[in-house]
Every structure is written in C-alpha cells, then in structure tokens.
Structure 1
Amino acid sequence: MQRRVTAARAALAVALSGAVAVSCTGSLTGEDTAGGNGAAGAASTTAAPGSHSVLPEPCGAVPESTLSGLLPDAAPQALDGEPALTYDIGRRVGCTWRSPSDAGTHRLEIDFERVVSYVRGTSDDDQAAQDFRRRAADLGIRLDPREGTAPAGPPPERMRPVPSDAPAGEFAPRALEGIGNAAYVDDRLTTTQSGARRDVTLAFHSGNVIVTVRYAQAVTEPARSPGSAGLQEGATEVARHLAERFSS
C-alpha cells in the first residue's frame, strides 16, 4: 500500500513539473511576439540598412575622356590617378589627379564616404542626410529644408557667413539641384604675392554615400586669377557622372 502511495505522488510531481514548464514557455513566447523586451520588439526599432553597401573603385570612377579635358597637357600616366591612403576601403576611398600646364596646375580630387549610423532607429541614409546638412551649414550654405528626413542641423544663426573672397552672383557658394539627393558648391580664391589658387568643392549625397569633388587651378602670375566658371563647370560634370553611377 505504501509503495502505491509513493508511486502516485511521484507521478503527480512529474505531471505538475511538466505543466509548469509548458506554462513558462508559453509566457516567454507571448512576451516575444508582443514586442515587449524580446527579440521581435528590438527588431521592430532597427532602422533599414543604407542604400549602398560598397563603394566604387575611385581612380576608375571618372571617364578618361573627362579627365583629359579637365587636366590640360596631362601625361598618360597622370590620368591613372593616385589613390588616397585609407584604412577601410568599405567606408572611405578617394583618388587625386594632377597636371601642370601653361594655364597653371590643375588638380582633381574625388572622395567617397559611406555613412553608417550607430543611432538606434536612425537609418544610414538619414544619418548621411544629417551629416551632409551640417557640412553645408558649416560653409554658410543652407540646403532645401525639405531634403531628407533627418534633422536640419544647426539653425541659421549658427551658420558661418560666406567669406568676402567668395565669388558673387551665379558663382557664389550655394545649394544645387538635380545632383543626388542634395548638393552644394563652394568656391574659394586664395591669393599670394607669387600667384593665386581657386578651389571649387562640389559635394552631394546619394543615399548613405557622401561624394566630394574638388577641382582646383593654381597660377604663378600674381596679376591673373583662375576663373570660377570653368572650374565649377568641370566639377559639375564630374559630380553628375558620379551621381548617375550611384543612382543606377
């Protein structure tokens, strides 16, 4: 009789432990699918990955015919370009071309930066838009406030004024349309007793990649300064070509 009671108690204990296990498993599953503190809840706040996961090879990104036009009298080997020193080609790459000529030394530089967001709930594309707007604001350039979904960056009162040596009128530093998601051009002239140099920087972002094109000309005649029109036109040609590559 004692053995029967003991066996019955043991069977009851096994049944109860099984019921508790099922109950606990069901409770945990319910929390996960409800999106509380489970994996499903965390996944729901994860932002989408960036539009671009790789960067193009920079020294082959500009057509040779374009390089020949922008770098007068350039030697054939000069059109190969010099890759920028970088420690992570998945995040940033660049290339530079140089050419001395009778019209002065020309220099073309391109830079690709793939932005990765480390802010929960902010996508790589939105982070790139925010970074880009801040860069423009640091130069005193205000982009279209409708561009992107990221914060607009520093308010107007914190934006730096355009320096007095920047060209006026249609060549002034300004926002551009029709290149990437947003774009701007900056134009700077530096003069010394031995000559002058003009640097035109045209930057745009496409998704989570920020592209910077710098086209410069230096002359050794103090009485002659490089003009804005040709340099801005050249930088725009390169930028439009690169923007098409990222949009395709």
Structure 2
Amino acid sequence: MAYVPGVALLGVLAAGCSGGAGGNANGADSKAGSPTVTPAPPGKYLTLPAPCRAVPRSTLKDLLPGAAELPGEQQDRVFRGSAAVTYDTDRKVGCSWKADAPSATRSLAIDFERVVSYDPAVSDDDRADTVYAKKVKAAGLSSSVTPVPTGEQDGKGEESGKAKDPADAGGTDSATPSPSGSSGEDGGESADGTTGSSGSPDQALPSRLLDDLGDAAFLQDLPKRADSTSQHHTVSVVFRTSNVVVTVRYAEQPALITQTPDARELQEKAQALARKLAETLSE
C-alpha cells in the first residue's frame, strides 16, 4: 500500500475542499448572473395641488356668472369653494363651487387622484392608466373611437360624427340617454352664459374621447334624465397625466324648465378648464 505523508494528505484534502468551494462559488455566480426584476419607475407626481386654489378667480367668475353679482363677503365665500372630505391629501383631493343667478344655477367640481402602484413590476403610470380605463368604460366609451382634438369641435356633425355610435355616446345607464336624447343648440351662437334654445338632437355633441389633453382624456355629456322635467345638464372631462387622474364636472340648472342649457358652452368651458389644470400640473 502506498504511503501518503500527512502533509501531502492535507494538501489533497485542501485541494478537494477548494474545488468544492469553487463549485459552490460557481453556482452562486450563476444565480447572481440570472435576470433580476428592475422595479418599475415611480410616477412623476409625488404630491397634489391645493384643489380650492387650483382654479383662478378670474376663471371662476366666468364659470359661475351669478357669483359676480353677490355682495363682497358672499362672493368671497363662493369663490373660496368647499374642499372635498378626504383622509389622505397626498392621494386624493377635490373642491366644489356653486353660484345662483336669476337665469340658472351653475356648479363646478374638480378632483385630483394620485395613483400609486404597490406592485414593483407595475409602474404608477400603468396603474393610473388602469384607473383611467375603468372610468372610460363606466362612461360607455370605447378606446377604439378616434379621439377628437380638444377645442376643435364645431358642432356641425364633422367632429361629433366620430362618436355617433350609440355605444360610444352614452354615460351611465341611469343618467345618460343616447345622443338622440341630448339637448341641442341653435348652432351654438349663445356663448354669453345665457341658456340656449333647443335645437335638432343631431347637433348635440356626444360623449367622446379627446386628444391633446394630458396622456389620455374623454368628455362625458350628461343631459337631463328622460324621466325628469328638470333641464339639469352636466359635462365631465376626465384626463390622465402620468400618475394623476383629474376630473372636471361642470353643470347648469336653468331657473325655468322651459329653458335648455347650452350644452356646447358647458363642454367648451369644461375643456378649457381641464387644459388649464393640465398645464398647471406640468409646470
């Protein structure tokens, strides 16, 4: 039997151990070299604006004409607005205003929602897009409809024809009839804040997707309910910019049931405010 010196035996054992360690090291190296999941980037916005200060006083005077006729203290109270009740002002805030005029009552409400994804594989923007998509679906709109450039609706059927499909022109089932039930205008000439006269139903601009407003946007037109004698008319503009979803609701209630709100004016002013809010957020 061959004799192996003690020192030589220790050397052999040491070599064996180092070889095993090398094998483990190689295994560890192979795991370290495997693909790793990179956390999705956070959203652009970490905070939200103060909602009751988000709309300039000059804009409020235009949107709420009745307030300008009020005495100083009452006028200030109207323009100050009422903050929405929220338990996390970093995630969701809102404000509303209302003013009565002899011819009609107008109300305005805005909401900001900052969306945060708690899934490292899903970005805040993607999560916000999911939230926005649910609002589009709830409005009865389809993402397949061609978006209409904001501020370019002429009401003559050219732009509004892009969303003439009844499935794309409604809102909620309980509050939004088809475009044929929408209140119309007499060519949209009344842009001075007075109520417009009733016109042909096909002149009414339906709910639709919008272009050139945030990352995605849509307008929902909510004329009076078919079973109601009230002429209350609401327009909502919803848009997403990065991880924030903004909603603007603008409504008019005429003093007389014989008066019909000017739907086109409500839509134009709601869109104009939405664009201002989008610009403010991007600053």
TM normalised by structure 1 equals 0.77
TM superposition shift of 1:13: 7.8
In 1, the alpha carbon distance for the partners of 2:119 and 2:131 equals 13
Q: Which residue of 2 aligns with 1:150?
A: none
Question: Do residues 187 (structure 1) and 221 (structure 2) align?
Answer: yes
CA distance in 2, matches of 1:83, 1:229: 28
Distance of 2:107 and 2:82 partners within structure 1? 11
Map of 1:44-193 to 2, 5 A cutoff? 46-74=39-67, 75-119=75-119, 121-143=121-143, 162=170, 163-164=177-178, 165-167=181-183, 168-169=202-203, 171-190=205-224, 192-193=228-229
1:227-246 Cα deviation digits (max 9, x unpaired): 20221122111101011122
**Cα separation, 1, equivalents of 2:112 and 2:249:** 12
Q: Which amino acid aligns with 1:128?
A: A
What is the Cα deviation at residue 94 of structure 1?
0.7
Moved over 6 A (4+): 7-19
Q: Relative to structure 2, which stretch is displaced further, 164-173 or 225-234?
A: 164-173
RMSD: 2.9
- How far 1:198 sits from its partner (Å)? 0.6
Deviation at 1:49?
1.5
User: Could you say which residue in structure 2 is the equivalent of 1:230?
Assistant: 265
Q: TM-score, normalised by structure 2?
A: 0.68
Name whichever of 87-96 and 110-119 sits farther off.
Answer: 110-119
Residue ranges of structure 2 left out of the alignment (5+ in a row):
1-5, 68-74, 148-166, 171-176, 184-201
The higher relative CO (CA closer than 8 Å, separation ≥ 6) is in: 2
Give the AA of the match of 2:265: G
Q: Cα gap change, 1:146/1:115 in structure 2, threshold over 3 Å: closer, same or farther? A: farther
1:215 is displaced (CA, Å) by: 0.4
Q: CA deviation at 1:178?
A: 1.3
Q: Which runs of 5+ in 1 are unaligned?
A: 36-40, 148-158
d(CA) in 2 for partners of 1:14, 1:78: 86
Work out the CA distance in 2 between the residues paired with 1:108 and 1:68.
12
Cα shift at 1:59: 1.0
Which letter does structure 1 place at the counterpart of 2:37? A
Q: Equivalences for 1:14-33 in 2 at 5 Å?
A: 24=24, 27-33=27-33
Deviations 1:103-142 (A, max 9, x none): 2211110011112234553322122223323322332223
* Deviation for aligned residue 1:91: 1.4
Instruction: Please give the secondary structure, in 1, of the residue aligned with 2:281.
Output: helix
State which drifts further: 183-192 or 199-208. 183-192
Aligned residue pairs total 226
Q: How far apart are the structure 2 equivalents of 1:92 and 1:216?
A: 22
The CA deviation string for residues 197-237 of structure 1, in whole angstroms up to 9 with x for no partner, is 11110111111111100001112311112120221122111
**1:54-104 C-alpha deviation (Å, 9 max, x unpaired):** 211111111111011111132122111111111111211111111111122
CA contact (8 A) 1:173 1:184 kept: yes
